[in-house]
Amino acid sequence: MSSADDPRWTNEDIRDYLSLDEQDLYELIPGFLPEYEGTNFMTEGQRAAGKKAFEQRVNAIKKTLCHDWQLCSRLKDPNFDDTVKLVVMVGDVIAACSGGIPPFLAASIIAKIGIRNFCNCERPSS
Amino acid sequence: MNDIIESGNSARGFIAASYGSSPDTACLGILNECTKKITCRAFNVSRLSFTDIERIVGGTDDKLALEIKEFLAEDLKGCTFIQSIAVAPSVFLDTETSLPKVIILLASFGYCSVQASRLKHEDADKVFLDVEPAILKRDTPKIPEWLAFSYADTIAAYGEFRFGKRPTGPALAAVAALCVRSPGLYYFLTSGGEPQSSQDVVEVFRSPDRLKAIGLPADIAQIHSVVSGTEAYSLETTSLTKFNDVHRVPLVYSLASKKFSWLEPRHARKIALLTVCRDWSIQLTCTSMRSERFAISLLDGIGDDKPDEGEEDKQLRMIIKSNYEAAEIAQTCKSAFLLAIHRWLHEQKFLFNELELRLFTLAGIKNKNSDMVYNPLSMHADWAESITMSLLSED
């Protein structure tokens, strides 16, 4: 099933994710990962653990999203102007490589980092 | 003294004092459990000088002071136990403003005990409210309950969480009276500790599966406790707890933290924890070292040998025991002693690791000393909450 079809995640969830800061989003990650089952955290530690888990998956995500899917060449797609649609699209692409992090959550983090930044896309000349 | 508990006593009255719409105005909120009424009123006390008020001991012929006295007497009719709370942005209050004047009036009229020192702070004449009760000797006559204290932001945030609207003025005083009426809630909101993180809440939901995996019954109540500062917070599943949509717990927690990000982060996280407890029907209790009941529980058994007690625990117990015996304190002021010795031990960091956890283990973390903060089994607003809700909607 495509992550976009997963009934557990709605556009409202994505809007909620996008209302949070990048650091807040890292805090959500450990709750989804089996390696943190049985672990109790202070909030700061939870955030650091989530960031570490995301960073461990960054190379795989970059390969799929930036290299294989060639995100930079698709930036003119009007769907990218709507952040929610962008997160849905990116979430679908990275679903298989986000390593237990819900794809829409990982995609929301990428949106917060900046999609061009994340994939090192060239800036359009003004 | 300082025993906000007194549960089961229906003759309880609560007074909350806060700033009004201007620094000259103070609001008084009174919750009377005998008459089942909450009354709020704003008083402009700019005409009264702090020095004049300090001179009032019991009697006064000042018209405004008498008006406040009559308001209190009328609305606290029938109450034999009275607890007061001051709600302020700081424990340093400008003597030219309303709140310290009203607090001293409350103490002068015998409604609360308070230790207030006058001092120069940042070039202004200030009053410092000592929020911890004084230790009294065994032969001290009984004094009124110690003034409780909360930062105004915390009470306003709780009001917004509970009633959907941030209270100000008299409504803030009403919410404060409501909070101090419920000891668990009061200790939780005014605690300096750090509550459970969202991951801790997720772990409460995961534990039945873990129990099943090791062959234990999965349907027993799950309790998760955190000891932080002078409090322990415990989460417990109940028959009403919803085990669905658990994946949304961290998101809901973070959204609530963000909504209340105008608070200090740990206080925002407390409101976030309350939000998650409400949405998933999890019970939240608080055990406080500040409660008289906790202190009695710890100090009354301090001399008893504990089986399997480690050397460090034994040493801690002996230090507390010898100081307690030497202090010869009044029966009703054990929490004051415990807080003082906790502070002293805390300063001697080299003496004990995990001091708070050891103290809570001595008295019991989650037991008869725990007070309810959020109870999903009593979801309906009681009379006081309904009145407060109407006050807020009129505000």
pLDDT tens figures, B197-246: 999 999 999 887 777 777 777 667 778 889 998 999 999 998 899 999 99
Give the pLDDT band of residue B361 (cuts 50, 70, 90).
Answer: confident
Minimum Cα–Cα distance from A22: chain B residue: B254
- Cα separation, A7 vs A5, in Å, equals 6
β-strands B81-88, B12-19: how paired? parallel
- Residue-level pLDDT at A7: 56
- Residue-level pLDDT at A14: 94
Question: What's the whole-model pTM score?
Answer: 0.91
Note the pLDDT tens digit of each residue in B63-108. 899 999 999 999 999 999 999 999 999 999 999 999 999 999 999 9
Q: What is the DSSP letter of B222?
A: P
- Residue-level pLDDT at B266: 95
Minimum Cα–Cα distance from A29: chain B residue: B250
Q: How far is A88 from chain B (nearest CA, A)?
A: 17
Cβ–Cβ < 8 Å for B154, B114: no
B372 has a pLDDT exceeding 90:
yes
What would the DSSP string read from start to end of B129-149? EE-SPPP-BTTPPP-PPBPEE
Instruction: List the one residue out of B162, B176, B167 whose CA is nearest residue B392.
Output: B167
Residues whose CB falls within 8 Å of the CB of residue B3, separated by 6 or more in sequence, listed in order: B145, B291, B292, B293, B332, B335
Mean pLDDT rounded to a whole number for chain A? 90
A59 or A77: which leads in pLDDT:
A59
Minimum Cα–Cα distance from A9: chain B residue: B248
DSSP helix, strand, coil percent of chain B (3-state; round to 5)? 45, 20, 35
B3 has a pLDDT exceeding 80:
no
Question: Quick check: helix, strand or coil at residue B150?
Answer: strand
Note the pLDDT tens digit of each residue in A82-124. 999 999 999 999 999 999 999 999 999 999 999 999 999 987 6
Give the pLDDT band of residue B369 (cuts 50, 70, 90).
Answer: confident
Give the pLDDT band of residue B171 (cuts 50, 70, 90).
Answer: very high
Helix ranges (DSSP H) in chain B? 50-55, 63-75, 98-108, 152-163, 169-181, 183-190, 198-213, 249-259, 265-280, 292-300, 311-327, 334-347, 355-363, 383-394
Q: How far is B57 from chain A (nearest CA, A)?
A: 48
- Cα separation, B85 vs B148, in Å, equals 4
Angle at A123 between CA A117 and CA A125, to 5 degrees: 170
* ipTM entry: 0.89
Q: How far is A97 from chain B (nearest CA, A)?
A: 19
Question: Quick check: helix, strand or coil at residue B13?
Answer: strand
Instruction: List the one residue out of B115, B29, B102 whose CA is nearest residue B64.
Output: B102
Q: What is the DSSP letter of B375?
A: -
B5 has a pLDDT exceeding 50:
no
CB–CB contact A28 B255 (8 Å): no
Mutate to test the interface with A, among B194, B205, B254 (most CBs of A within 10 A): B254
For B165, B167, B181, B391, the CA distances from B395, given in Å and listed in that order, are 10, 8, 22, 6
- Residue-level pLDDT at B133: 85
Residue at B276: amino acid letter? V
- Cα separation, B273 vs B135, in Å, equals 34
